[in-house]
A and B are shown apart, each in its own frame.
Chain A
Amino acid sequence: MADDAFTIAGEELGSRLILGTGGAPSLAVMEAAIRASGTDMCTVSMRRVDTTTPGSMLDMLARCGVRVLPNTAGCRTSHEAVLTAELAREALETNWVKLEVIADEQTLLPDPVELLDAAERLVAEGFTVLPYTNDDPVLARRLQQIGCAAVMPLGAPIGTGLGIRNAHNIELIVAEAEVPVVLDAGIGTASDAALAMELGCDAVLLASAVTRAQDPALMAAAMAAGVTAGRFAARAGRIPRRHHARASSPVHGTAVF
């Protein structure tokens, strides 16, 4: 079970669960959820985080000892996303960025054209780019080709909790991925996280499912267990699905009285 390191861009992460920080009712609740999740990396919106004031989210994350992955949530164009990533690099002194370029407020789906453009420009600037993308195998391939350090396809639109709507597409993305695949967005409950890992994803990124749960810390622990269970199951190799029963105990050599 050991010796299952998870690395992105050569950096080893201590957990296959990555937490988003949006939607928590308070910093104290967020902190409890982070600790319960055992995560090693949290993503924060550069547009919604205060990098200047003591007592902010960033202080709390530092206290928890987790890596901070800035994201470009709220950006609608490649131009905005690149500027936001550059701002994050300056403010947080990291060249990692979760790249998010949203098409509209209704669906919050990634805009593939703007996303690819922004990814290309950021890779050229030396960023380690982790793009939040649609569950489109072709787009995922293109993002890898231009040098993204991971691909992060959605299971369902952000905040819906609808789980993984197109498991087959996720499998296709995983099948040809040469960089880590992180299932990002759409997770509703722990079994969704387990399924993502069973499908072969390397990690799961989620926020609302934990931060908007009635007991965020407990749900964070559930997600950690789900990710671990799914990872173990994926490595263990599941049995084939069969149409007919196959007894689990031997039927030969039964005593006859």
Chain B
Amino acid sequence: MPAAIMPPGAAVAPARAAGARDRGAPGSRPDVIVAGAGVIGLGVAWRARLRGLTVTVVDPAPGSGASWTAAGMLAPLSELRYGEQPLLALNMASAQRYPTFVAELERSSGTEVGYLRCGTLVAAWDSADMAGLRDIHGFARSLGLRTELLTRRELRARVPASASGLAGALSAPDDHQIDNRLLHGALLRACVAEGVTLLPAAARRWLLRGDRVVGLGLADGTELTAPVVVLACGAWSGQIDGLPPGVLPAVRPVKGQTLRLRTVGPPLLTCVLRGTVRGHPVYLVPRADGRIVVGASSEEAGFDLRPRAGAVYELLRDAQALVPGVGEAELEEVSTGLRPASPDNAPLIGPSRIPGLLLAVGHYRNGVLLTPVTADAIAGLLADGALPDEAAAFTPARFDHAGNRATEGRVADDQAVENRPTREDVR
């Protein structure tokens, strides 16, 4: 699909990308403001800066949200659900970008990010789970994806620490992991190194002129203006006041808890192991340093960040059911974050209904995985005026004002791409 949107900020001319990489004097008006310094916001800022744009990022506590709590699984296949083939395509596109993205980021930041191409095994707790994995295996193969079914013996051979009663596993050799905290730290360093301005401030309200967004009002009263603002505040994206109703499709917080365990001695696991224990999903992500990230609860609890005792119990219970030796590890940390969930679980990437405002929100369970493709898509839109094809199906235009899927989804997408007036503008 040809994607030929002029960026809402018409002042951002594509020619800038080829021009001088001027940093812009401190305090001067940037080309782009990014609200939110999680992995998505920083990814966008870094890539936009590499395209020659001057960028200011606003966040009172960079990386304190879902980017911190996440486990860093890069798992298009083991997150695959029936009916989510479009999201799979985007997830795959981002996974394929990861090696290059990491190489460039490590060069730009001078730090390593813990990208481990370790593969993932999805263990079956019982024979019914195994039957479910066989179905997923068939589904994955029909989509041309690489998976392999393992018998219980093959699973034990690959993961000697796994529990003896597991019924088998599905291997997803291309599902990898990254240390999300190292990734976030590296993005911060890369942004600083490339000349992105980081403002440790909270955005309180949108600045509007006529029908367009022209900047953000900060908590200390200062006003920051730019031709384009990119919203990347995750679950908190709806908390900045002043947008007309309906501009932001509903993105709701889905609470997730993860645990960080520390093991000593030979590693318990050398690949990501996940499974569903008596109906409760759990994963174990082994880091290179011996830590294991165990996750994750999934709770519809609003903006509640308090760790819940039962969630910790359930995660440890189920992790031990898959890998009994986990019980001996040191419990180092319990962390809680809010996943930004859109109605269809897929992100919102691209122009909003209001000029001057781009969205990079709603990444739900896949924010770390989708960082490269989102960053490149938004940077491409900012620098070239066009959204790359792979992101075209994920523009916010697929939702109507109520937040539900537009009935004529294709038509809505096409309208956005051609930037014609939408139904709502005409009304």
Known: A48-B300, A55-B251. A26 touches B343 (CB 8 A): yes
B343 close to A55 (CB less than 8 A): yes
A26 close to B344 (CB less than 8 A): yes
Q: Is B238 an interface residue (CB 8 A)?
A: yes
A159 close to B251 (CB less than 8 A): no
A50 close to B252 (CB less than 8 A): yes
Cα–Cα, bound, A50→B301 (Å): 5
Q: How far is the CB of A186 from chain B (nearest CB, A)?
A: 14
Q: Is B210 an interface residue (CB 8 A)?
A: no
Which of B1-9, B78-86, B154-162, B187-195 lies on the face that meets chain A? B78-86
Known: A25-B81, A26-B345, A27-B343. A53 touches B404 (CB 8 A): no
Known: A25-B81, A28-B344. A54 touches B238 (CB 8 A): yes
Q: How far is the CB of A66 from chain B (nearest CB, A)?
A: 14
Known: A25-B345, A214-B82. A105 touches B250 (CB 8 A): no
Contacts of A244 in B (CB 8 A): none
Q: How many residues of A contact B (CB 8 A)?
A: 25
Contacts of B278 in A (CB 8 A): 105-106
B300 close to A50 (CB less than 8 A): yes
Contacts of A52 in B (CB 8 A): 302-303
Nearest CB in chain A to that of B338: its residue: A53
Contacts of B238 in A (CB 8 A): 54-55
Cα–Cα, bound, A106→B299 (Å): 21
Q: Is A31 an interface residue (CB 8 A)?
A: yes
Q: Is B405 an interface residue (CB 8 A)?
A: yes
Q: Is B402 an interface residue (CB 8 A)?
A: yes
Q: Is B403 an interface residue (CB 8 A)?
A: yes
Q: Is B253 an interface residue (CB 8 A)?
A: yes
Q: Is A59 an interface residue (CB 8 A)?
A: yes
Q: How far is the CB of B133 from chain A (nearest CB, A)?
A: 14
Interface of A is mostly: loop
A55 close to B250 (CB less than 8 A): yes
Contacts of B83 in A (CB 8 A): 25, 29, 214-216
0/1 string, B387-405, CB within 8 A of A gives 1: 0000000000000001111
Contacts of B251 in A (CB 8 A): 55
Contacts of B403 in A (CB 8 A): 55, 59
Q: Is A63 an interface residue (CB 8 A)?
A: yes
B250 close to A48 (CB less than 8 A): no
B250 close to A28 (CB less than 8 A): no
A54 close to B84 (CB less than 8 A): no
Cα–Cα, bound, A57→B253 (Å): 12
Partner of B303, one of A53, A63, A159: A53
Nearest CB in chain A to that of B250: its residue: A55
Q: Is A139 an interface residue (CB 8 A)?
A: no
A25 close to B300 (CB less than 8 A): no
Nearest CB in chain B to that of A52: its residue: B302
A28 close to B405 (CB less than 8 A): yes
Cα–Cα, bound, A54→B404 (Å): 12
Q: How far is the CB of A230 from chain B (nearest CB, A)?
A: 26
Contacts of B341 in A (CB 8 A): 26-27
Q: Is A166 an interface residue (CB 8 A)?
A: no
A49 close to B300 (CB less than 8 A): yes
0/1 string, B269-303, CB within 8 A of A gives 1: 00000000011000000000000000000011111
Contacts of B405 in A (CB 8 A): 28, 31
Contacts of A31 in B (CB 8 A): 343, 404-405
B300 close to A56 (CB less than 8 A): yes
0/1 string, A67-90, CB within 8 A of B gives 1: 000000000000000000000000
With A50-B302, A214-B82 known, 19 other A-B pairs at CB within 8 A are A25-B82, A25-B345, A26-B341, A27-B341, A27-B343, A29-B344, A31-B404, A48-B300, A51-B302, A53-B252, A53-B303, A55-B251, A56-B300, A57-B300, A60-B343, A106-B278, A214-B135, A215-B82, A215-B83
B residues neighboring A (CB under 8 Å): 81-84, 135, 238, 250-253, 278-279, 299-303, 341, 343-345, 402-405
Going nearest first, the 10 A-B pairs with the smallest beta carbon separation are A55-B250, A28-B344, A55-B252, A52-B302, A50-B300, A26-B345, A214-B82, A53-B302, A28-B343, A50-B302
A-B contact pairs, 28 of them (CB 8 A): A25-B82, A25-B84, A25-B345, A26-B345, A27-B341, A27-B344, A28-B343, A28-B405, A31-B343, A31-B404, A48-B299, A48-B300, A50-B252, A50-B300, A52-B302, A52-B303, A53-B252, A53-B302, A54-B252, A55-B238, A55-B252, A56-B302, A63-B402, A63-B404, A106-B278, A214-B82, A214-B135, A215-B82
